[in-house]
Structure 1
């Protein structure tokens, strides 16, 4: 029997759909790894190719984040019209399984590796259930090595993506990670990760750890970094800003080849940080912390959530000035988005402030709630201005012209973001 894994594309004209650099779906490669050997597997990534609704397969498996959900439902309808069975998993289906079940034959809720073999056995026996819910958390020593051969021929710039930990000890109001993976921080055996890296470096010296907080447990991260030293990798991952306070761990990361971290600054206002649950952030220390990252050869892809209660139209200029003073190598500026399953959605729903449930607009680039401190139009305009200004040639010059090893990654990243932002703007104004 044959499974076709499908990764849906992003809505046309949205930032994440316009970016030229695309990462393959590690989630689908992980499911392929726990698929019994009697099943043939294939991948269709709509960001790289057109979906063939007449593809030879017995089962179609799709995964989606919230803004991809409408397109996922269209893909499911296309396959089901041809008599194919469609199964859906991922963040959106896990948070809204009843909605997803209106469009697909079965839904997987939670970490799919636990129930996927049972689902396949049920399908083969003709007794597929409508809902498969993981009853626990996957033991981290049971996480299989991703079946990356399904990425072959897709033209990805980088296929060395891997996950070493799941869960996050924090519970930020706007984040959907803890709703899916839980707050318990779990790590794969370090020796298993190092063995996987030994295989990966045969293909490419760059790697990206998709962990939401790679350094949450220094007792785990420190031996991992020390084991990576000398492997020759240049790698990126995610870390909180207080990572800068651990000199030994930061030095070990730099020596292991870390050239960049995604860092959630989120706000320059300490009261806003407290409200959103960002308990480790100290806005007054941001400049010094950013310098410490840079001193260890680690660039920063910063994140600033726009539109939190209390933010005003003046906040956009403050963020830009800070980023340039701190010489932040790259940044994203997501509009606060009330994703299903998050605490912020529950709060905004209770306050009657949700203004749109069009999931296509839940791409962090559109206002879907009623802000306080500015109008929705001011928030949208500020977001667009900040993106254009940060990725202007003048700002790129002020932030990136320096002798720093991270520029080899963040230079092309800035050019890619600038091009994608310009294409997105042309789409919004009706340009070609």
Structure 2
């Protein structure tokens, strides 16, 4: 029996599809690990290779984020036309299972790790069900070690991705993580993580923890960082900006090899932060907090959500100036996107402000709702200007061309984003 795992390509001309550096789907590697050993497992990632829809497979499993959903449905339709069963999971299908079932035979809602063996068993018996939902959240001690051998030969920049925690104790209005993983924060035993890291170290000294908030449990994070000290890793992950307020934990992260964190600043407007539920952020402390990250050798990939109700056309230039003054090494500037399953979508639907359900445009680079403080055209223009300006050579020089250990990651990242932004503009333009 052969299982074909598929990661659909991004719509043409979207920033995330144009980026030269590609990362693999850890969720598909986890599904591969939960698949019975008598199955042959193969992966096709359309972001790095073409898909042969005429190829052999007994079962096809697809994961997709919202902007990839239309392509996922096209793929599913093609395989089903040949009589091959198709299963879909991930954030989009979990939030809109009825929509997905118009194109696939079964949908996995939520975490797939627990239900996948049952789904495969049902398929083998010819009793595949339309919807599979786990009865409980996965105990992280039972998280299967990803089968990274399926990534071989794909040309990924980095395959040393791993997960130590799931869930987030916060509930930001725009975020779909809580709906998928829940607010209960669950940790994988540190000993298991260290064992996996020992294996990964044989491949590469870089690692990326995909956790949405690696430091939410201080005691757990401190234990992990202390144990990693001396292993020789250079690693990145996600953390809130108030991480800077814990000197001991920050020092432990830096000493364990942390060279970068994805940090959600989201807004320079405190009222907007409160409205979106970003309770840990104090905009007046951003400059000082960013300096603390840098002083510990940790660069920042910042995120600023554009288009909140308190935003006007006057927000764009101050964000750029702040990033340059704070020397934010890299950043993304997502347009507020009402993803299925989020509180912001529920609110905007009630207010009659959603203007498009073309999922291809739910890529954080297009306006799909009626903004309150500016026109949709002004929001789109501001987003595009901010991206071009932040990744201009002059801004890059002001922000990253200083002696700092994180430059080894963030300098190539800046050039990668710059090239992708230019290609996106050319395709869409």
Same structural fold, with TM-score higher than 0.5 when normalized by the shorter chain: yes
CA deviations on 1:387-408 (whole Å, 9 max, x unpaired) are 0000000000000111100000
Instruction: Find the counterpart in structure 1 of residue 135 from structure 2.
Output: 135
What is the CA-CA distance between 1:289 and the residue it aligns to? 0.1
Matches within 5 A, 1:175-186: 175-186=175-186
Instruction: Find the counterpart in structure 2 of residue 87 from structure 1.
Output: 87
Give 3-state SS (helix, strand or coil) of 1:249's partner: helix
CA deviations on 1:236-290 (whole Å, 9 max, x unpaired) are 0000000000000000000000000000000000000000000000000000000
Matches of 1:410 and 1:421, distance apart in 2: 16
What is the CA-CA distance between 1:80 and the residue it aligns to? 1.0
Matches of 2:55 and 2:218, distance apart in 1: 47
Instruction: Find the counterpart in structure 2 of residue 60 from structure 1.
Output: 60
Matches of 1:278 and 1:110, distance apart in 2: 24
Matches within 5 A, 1:119-130: 119-130=119-130
Give 3-state SS (helix, strand or coil) of 1:114's partner: coil
CA deviations on 1:132-177 (whole Å, 9 max, x unpaired) are 1112100010001100000011111110000000000000000000
Instruction: Find the counterpart in structure 2 of residue 201 from structure 1.
Output: 201
Instruction: Find the counterpart in structure 2 of residue 115 from structure 1.
Output: 115
Give 3-state SS (helix, strand or coil) of 1:302's partner: strand
What is the CA-CA distance between 1:65 and the residue it aligns to? 0.4
What is the CA-CA distance between 1:21 and the residue it aligns to? 0.6
Matches of 2:117 and 2:145, distance apart in 1: 16
Q: Which one is further off, 73-82 or 85-94? A: 73-82
Instruction: Find the counterpart in structure 2 of residue 395 from structure 1.
Output: 395
Instruction: Find the counterpart in structure 1 of residue 411 from structure 2.
Output: 411
Aligned-pair Cα RMSD in Å: 0.5
Matches of 1:237 and 1:105, distance apart in 2: 35
1:334 aligns with 2:353: no
Matches of 1:87 and 1:428, distance apart in 2: 32
Instruction: Find the counterpart in structure 2 of residue 38 from structure 1.
Output: 38
Matches within 5 A, 1:350-369: 350-369=350-369
Instruction: Find the counterpart in structure 1 of residue 169 from structure 2.
Output: 169
What is the CA-CA distance between 1:428 and the residue it aligns to? 1.4
Matches of 2:157 and 2:410, distance apart in 1: 15
Instruction: Find the counterpart in structure 1 of residue 371 from structure 2.
Output: 371
Matches of 1:208 and 1:277, distance apart in 2: 27
Instruction: Find the counterpart in structure 2 of residue 265 from structure 1.
Output: 265
Instruction: Find the counterpart in structure 2 of residue 97 from structure 1.
Output: 97
CA deviations on 1:194-245 (whole Å, 9 max, x unpaired) are 1100000000000000000000011100010011001110000000000000
CA deviations on 1:268-313 (whole Å, 9 max, x unpaired) are 0000000000000000000000000000000000000000001010
1:147 aligns with 2:147: yes
For structure 1, the residue ranges without an aligned partner over 5 or more in a row are: none
Instruction: Find the counterpart in structure 2 of residue 305 from structure 1.
Output: 305
Give 3-state SS (helix, strand or coil) of 2:24's partner: coil
Instruction: Find the counterpart in structure 1 of residue 235 from structure 2.
Output: 235
Instruction: Find the counterpart in structure 1 of residue 317 from structure 2.
Output: 317
Matches of 1:272 and 1:151, distance apart in 2: 41
CA deviations on 1:55-109 (whole Å, 9 max, x unpaired) are 2210000000000000000111111111111000000000000000000011000
Give 3-state SS (helix, strand or coil) of 1:75's partner: helix
Give 3-state SS (helix, strand or coil) of 2:113's partner: helix
Give 3-state SS (helix, strand or coil) of 1:70's partner: helix
What is the CA-CA distance between 1:180 and the residue it aligns to? 0.1
Instruction: Find the counterpart in structure 1 of residue 7 from structure 2.
Output: 7
Give 3-state SS (helix, strand or coil) of 1:86's partner: strand
Matches of 1:43 and 1:401, distance apart in 2: 39
Instruction: Find the counterpart in structure 2 of residue 381 from structure 1.
Output: 381
Instruction: Find the counterpart in structure 2 of residue 210 from structure 1.
Output: 210
Residues matched between the structures, number: 429
For structure 2, the residue ranges without an aligned partner over 5 or more in a row are: none
Matches of 1:310 and 1:165, distance apart in 2: 33
Give 3-state SS (helix, strand or coil) of 2:313's partner: coil
Matches of 1:178 and 1:205, distance apart in 2: 31
Instruction: Find the counterpart in structure 2 of residue 158 from structure 1.
Output: 158
Instruction: Find the counterpart in structure 2 of residue 248 from structure 1.
Output: 248
Q: TM-score, normalised by structure 1?
A: 0.99
